[in-house]
Amino acid sequence: MVKIVILDESTSNQIAAGEVIERPASIVKEMAENSLDAGATSITVEITGGGIKSIRVTDNGDGIEADDVAMAFERHATSKIRRIDDLDNLSTMGFRGEALASIASVSKVEVITKTEEAKVGTKVIVEAGDIISTEPVGAPKGTTFIVRELFYNTPARYKFLKKDSTEAGYIHDILVRIALARPDVSIKLVNQGKTVIHTPGNHDLLSVIYSIYGKDIARSVIPVNFSGDGIDITGFIGRPEISKGNRSSQSIFVNNRFIYNKIITAALEEACKTRLMQKRFPFAVLKINISPQFVDVNVHPAKLEVRFSDERKVFRAVHHAVMSALSGASLIPADKDVFKKNAVKEEDNADAKQMRFRSIPRMESEAMPTEENASGNKSEGLSISADTGNVSNYKTAVHVESGFSKSATEAMQGLYFVKREIYDTASDNEIMKSIAGAAPKPGEEKNTGPVATHDNNDPVANDRNKLLNAHVIGQIFNSFIILETGDELLLIDQHAAHERIQYEKTKKQYSEGNIYSQVLLNPLTVNLSMLEMDMFHELSRLLERLGFEVEDFGGKTIIIRAIPYVLGSGISEQDFIDILYKLQKETGSVSEIIPEETIYMTACKSAIKANREMPEMEIRGLIEDLTKTENPYTCVHGRPIIISVSRKELEKKFKRIL
């Protein structure tokens, strides 16, 4: 039987180092955090060989007393806490007292430090955890740590390090996070003698973003400012055009500590849903301040994760803060590259060869048409174009109400409309409201939590007024609407715009507990596979809630007698099967929830398609309805609805100005 022994101090220190020191970036993180705890306002990091060969960290902090320098390299030596109760109100970055001991056990360390009161500084040299020498030395106030030959005494760990450029990249990322967390501190990184990061330390987070990411990113961020429920959130959220293909540009800080947290990430990305394209992630720098007693920072060896005592409250706060910031900002992208050289060449595009431009003459009065139909009735329902049979939302000829309504035009198209009451109990309504959320009117905030503060000037309202007052120039490719307003040219994707309108309208109907169904005079017969038939029986109640009326016709055949009115003039067999699979994928089993992804699909399928000519009145109606949406900037898939091209940019393209 193997005997139980107590490990010697050197071995135990090296094992402990494995938890804290993974690579050179771990050393930079621990040293920089100690500098911050020491009150430093300037931190300079110099590295060679990716930090493997040497790391030098210099700060202007309080320094270390001469009598304490040697003790600082002992395990669990710390100036941050005295007892376990101190963890409940922890505000410092480092506190466990393992960093210096761990670093010293796997490298050669030299420290030079001086306090403001001391006449001279102190220099200590440590190798493999043993103090080699201690001597007085001339030095300015602050501390300098020099770490050389990392893992020189642990070759098994040294071989797992990556190439120098990769390790330098990890150090760069660490210092970027620290710089974003502390805009009041000047952070400088010198790699192989070249300065790659240098922030001003002027207390301005936007200046730090500019220094790190450049002017294009700094110009494309929206301020976030929230306070409520004991949580303060500040920072910036990026506009859709600077979104990334991964989360590398998301920096989340809790009490100035960079962290990873699934709750916060989920809240951030949920708030950006329908504003970003799928598999795109927002640029974000969010700083969350919450009482330390509600945060557990000691759940990860490197303190990269935290745990909250009330995760739902944190989720609501982050979601509301980001939503409020996005809802209060103009998100029309200024497309400077609308005429890019790498655009599709005319000879490669059949549509380009047959480009059609329909201009609409400027009218003496640019006032919007009234919402009254030919008979003088107020219009709020649906209209049907007699030549196409398409159902749209504009200048209705038929007012849809509870009960039955039919017109000669509808009879021609073989359909009529019925309002369906699909919720029987108050609890059902509450479920749906909690999932869908009633869409607020333009300019009206949802009352879902504490109010986020923002500028009284409302850029979204300005954009809505701009759209309403713009002159309609016409269409190109029967797909894009051109508006002129002041010194701007606005291009609108008609399909994306109508998709957004349909999505918000449908979502609002579900949240209010009722929808409109469109009963087909010519029912659609659909043949399903055995698997699809099982799915149909399992999800039949959800289909009814969506506005479908479907019967089992025996065998593997079903008959669709009614569809959601938003599906327009009809639905194909494949459309229904697509919705069936989407429902099954989102829910997995019978549920009381209408998946939002299914509403996306319904809105997309019912929207006006590209390559469809629109008369001026319909264009104006589309624009008017778009201005009434909560988010007039992106479709449900996150694609832009509106693109702005300035007169100045056009003049540059034509070399009128240089």
Specify the DSSP class assigned to residue 101: H
Burial 161-180 (b: 16+ CB within 10 A, else e): beebeebbebbbebbbbbbb
Q: How many CA atoms lie within 13 A of 654 on its CB side?
A: 6
Mean pLDDT of 29-40: 90
Any residues with CB less than 8 A from the CB of 116 and at least 6 apart, and which?
62, 63, 141
Asked whether the predicted pLDDT for residue 404 surpasses 90, the reply is: no
Mean pLDDT of 378-387: 34
Neighbour tally for 39: CB within 10 Å: 13
Is the torsion defined by CA of 618, 624, 627, 630 positive or negative? negative
* Residue 496 backbone phi and psi in degrees, to 5: -65, -40
Q: Are 71 and 105 in contact (CB under 8 A)?
A: no
Distance CA 368, CA 30 (A): 63
Mean pLDDT of 510-516: 71
Specify the DSSP class assigned to residue 325: H
Q: Are strands 186-191 and 42-48 parallel, antiparallel or unpaired?
A: parallel
Distance CA 445, CA 439 (A): 9
Q: Are 412 and 520 in contact (CB under 8 A)?
A: no
What is the helix (H) or strand (E) element at residue 420, kind and residue range?
Answer: strand 415-421
Asked whether the predicted pLDDT for residue 40 surpasses 70, the reply is: yes
Range list of H helices, 279-344: 311-327
More confident residue, 443 or 587: 587
The string of DSSP letters for 231-272 reads EEEEEEEE-GGG-BSSSTTEEEEETTEE-B-HHHHHHHHHHT
Q: What is the CA radius of gyration of the chain?
A: 32
Distance CA 331, CA 176 (A): 27
Task: Give the angle subtended at the CA of 47 by the CAs of 45 and 53, to the nearest 5°.
Answer: 140
pLDDT of residue 445: 43
SS3 labels along 352-381: HHCCCEEECCCCCCCCCCCCECCCCCECCC
Asked whether the predicted pLDDT for residue 233 surpasses 80, the reply is: yes
Lowest mean pLDDT among 165-179, 249-263, 412-426: 412-426
pLDDT tens per residue, range 154-204: 887 888 899 999 999 999 999 999 999 999 999 999 999 999 999 999 999
Neighbour tally for 483: CB within 10 Å: 21
Check for a shared fold between 220-327 and 371-443+459-646: no
Q: Find tokens 């101190």 and name the residue.
A: 86
pLDDT of residue 337: 45
Asked whether the predicted pLDDT for residue 412 surpasses 70, the reply is: no
More confident residue, 440 or 157: 157
Lowest mean pLDDT among 372-381, 503-512, 524-533, 585-594: 372-381
The string of DSSP letters for 197-211 reads EE---SS-HHHHHHH
pLDDT of residue 340: 44
Any residues with CB less than 8 A from the CB of 136 and at least 6 apart, and which?
66, 120, 121, 122, 123
Distance CA 112, CA 140 (A): 9
Asked whether the predicted pLDDT for residue 236 surpasses 90, the reply is: yes
pLDDT of residue 220: 93
Q: Are 132 and 125 in contact (CB under 8 A)?
A: yes
Q: Are 268 and 320 in contact (CB under 8 A)?
A: no
Distance CA 649, CA 640 (A): 19
In this structure, the chain runs to a length of 658
Residue type for position 629: T
pLDDT of residue 307: 81
Distance CA 520, CA 529 (A): 24
Q: Are 612 and 361 in contact (CB under 8 A)?
A: no
Q: What CATH number was assigned to the domain covering residues 220-327?
A: 3.30.230.10
Lowest mean pLDDT among 283-287, 373-377, 581-585, 612-616: 373-377
Domain boundaries, given as residue ranges, for the chain = 9-198, 220-327, 371-443+459-646
**Token couple for 189:** 């990184």
Comparing C-alpha atoms, which of 473, 474, 478 is closest to residue 351?
478
pLDDT of residue 594: 55
Q: Find tokens 């390299």 and name the residue.
A: 73
Q: Are strands 250-254 and 284-290 parallel, antiparallel or unpaired?
A: parallel
pLDDT of residue 398: 30
Any residues with CB less than 8 A from the CB of 640 and at least 6 apart, and which?
240, 241, 333, 493, 496, 633, 634
Mean pLDDT of 198-222: 94
Listed in order, strand segments (DSSP E) in 65-193 are 108-114, 121-127, 130-137, 142-148, 186-191
Topology of domain 371-443+459-646 in CATH is formyl-coa transferase, domain 3 (3.30.1540)
Distance CA 110, CA 131 (A): 10
Mean pLDDT of 108-119: 92
Q: Bin 49: left if φ > 0, else alpha if -120 < ψ < 50, else beta.
A: left
Beta bridge partners of 134: 124
Cα-Cα-Cα-Cα dihedral of 283, 245, 460, 312, to 10°? -60
More confident residue, 588 or 618: 618
Q: Find tokens 């008369």 and name the residue.
A: 615
Architecture in CATH for domain 9-198: 2-Layer Sandwich (3.30)
**Token couple for 95:** 């506190």
Distance CA 135, CA 141 (A): 16
Asked whether the predicted pLDDT for residue 571 surpasses 70, the reply is: yes
Considering the chain, what is the average pLDDT of its residues? 76
- Residue 127 pLDDT class (50, 70, 90 cuts): confident
CA 544 to chain centre: 33
Comparing C-alpha atoms, which of 334, 325, 639 is closest to residue 459?
325
CA 131 to chain centre: 49
